[in-house]
Amino acid sequence: MKFLIVGAGISGCTSARLLADEGHEVEVWEARDHTGGNCHDEKVGGVTVHKYGPHLFHTNDRKVWEFLSRFTQWKDYRHTVVADTALGRISIPYSPVTERQLGRSLDDDEIRELIFVEYSEKQWGIPWGELPAAIRGRVPTRRTDEDDRYFTDAYQGQPADGYAAMFARMLDGIPVRTGRDKQAWREVRHDCDGVIYTGKIDEYFGYSLGRLPYRSLRFEHRRSRERLPHAVINQCNRLPYTREYDHACFSLENPEETVITREFPLAHDPSNEPYYPMPFGEGQALYQKYKELAAAEPGTLFLGRLATYSYLDMWMAVAQAMVKVRGILNQQPAEA
């Protein structure tokens, strides 16, 4: 069988590899001039810069970890986050470590006001009360143990020579066409038995039902000889940016000059990138209609954050591709 994969992010690369491993012919088309999607990183001077925002890998899924470990070794990176709040700079998620910094304990309402409400309203552009539980609960309100890591998953690490290198190895031997017009893949579609589409689902259908809402980000980078005192400093306050981070920390590098970035959330429009789907309220209602169209689309599998309009972590995108590609393979006759 021949498969056309549209998009070379996590979902596209994972699907391409899994199908190629089973002996299928695969071709990947990508609009950007690089593979790896938003995980893409590149060296700026001596520091690895995460071009589309910080990516910190973590999972409890052993199969996902083992799959990725075929393409990279890992640096043993321990991710912690601090937040600037009305009560000063504290470690988050809230834990006994935070209580010692504050010199007292807070109840759940106080934690919500201190850490979540202002940051979330900046990030999502809507009042806290309108955010779904799935987003409100992504970062735990409180931890009761001494573990001050941002993620507590069993498997954590940063690809030893970066995400770009990991995805390049995943695509080893697979034809990849980068820098192509976003619609150009449609011209070769008839040559293929199946399509895996990982772009925006509303774009796939020419925005015929309207545009889905996404949140975007504007990055302000600066080169600096001074390092930040922490890898990530969240701004849980009214400053216009949500977080500031030091790229040298993520790859455990020690360059003469690092790159420090501030993230400013904003609404997505055609001039910027659709980083975060908003699968709640009107966004969810519109997505359901696109999903119905997608279900009627023959031979096309929609995968990933943009095509399934869901806030997937990196490991979830890999896991989703594993399950769905396995589904395609199980449908094929044995000799295919």
Residue ranges in contact with ligand UDP by CB under 6 A: 83, 92, 115-116, 119-120, 123, 135, 138-139, 234, 236
Least distance (Å) from ligand UDP to the CB of residue 336? Answer: 38
C-alpha 11/C-alpha 21 separation (Å) is 15
**Least distance between ligand UDP and beta carbon 209 (Å):** 26
Instruction: Give the residue with the Cβ less far from ligand UDP, 7 or 277.
Output: 277
DSSP-derived 3-state class of residue 260: strand
Other residues' Cβ atoms within 10 Å of the Cβ of residue 168: 18
Tell the smallest beta-carbon distance from residue 29 to ligand UDP (Å): 27
Rounded CA separation 23/21 (Å):
5
- Do 17 and 170 contact (CB within 8 A), yes or no? yes
| Closer to ligand UDP by Cβ: residue 140 or 327 | 140
When the beta carbons of 120 and 258 are compared against ligand UDP, the nearer one is 120
Q: Which amino acid is at 225?
A: R
Measured from the CB of residue 142, what is the shortest distance to ligand UDP in angstroms?
13
Torsion of CA 41, 43, 48, 51, to 10 degrees: -40
In whole angstroms, give the CA distance from residue 305 to residue 320.
Answer: 10
Q: Nearest approach, Cβ of 133 to ligand UDP (angstroms)?
A: 11
Residue given tokens 């031979």 in the structure block: 299
Tell me whether strands 243-246 and 2-6 are parallel, antiparallel or unpaired.
Answer: unpaired
Smallest gap, in angstroms, from Cβ of residue 106 to ligand UDP?
Answer: 14
User: Which of 197/276 has CB closer to ligand UDP?
Assistant: 276
> Of the two residues 56 and 325, which places its CB atom closer to ligand UDP in the complex?
56
The CA distances from residue 163 to 57, 182, 308, in Å, are 10, 23, 23
Q: Residue 37: which residues within 8 A CB-CB, separation 6 or more?
A: 7, 8, 9, 10, 11, 12, 13, 52, 167
Please give the single-letter amino acid code of residue 86. Answer: A
- 115/212 with CB nearer ligand UDP: 115
For the bound state, the minimum distance from the C-beta of residue 211 to ligand UDP, rounded and expressed in Å, comes to 21
CB of 191 to ligand UDP, least distance (A): 37
**Measured between alpha carbons, how far is residue 247 from residues 10, 42, 162, 217, 223 in Å?**
21, 11, 12, 17, 10
Report the distance separating Cα 175 and Cα 196, nearest Å. 15
Cβ closer to ligand UDP: 232 or 307? 232
Closest contact distance (angstroms) between CB of 83 and ligand UDP is 5
Residue 183's contacts (CB-CB under 8 Å, 6 or more residues apart) are: none
Q: Which is nearer to ligand UDP, 95 or 234 (CB)?
A: 234
Compute the residue count for the chain. Answer: 336
CB closer to ligand UDP out of 71 and 311: 311
| Contact call for residues 250 and 100 (beta carbons, < 8 A) | no
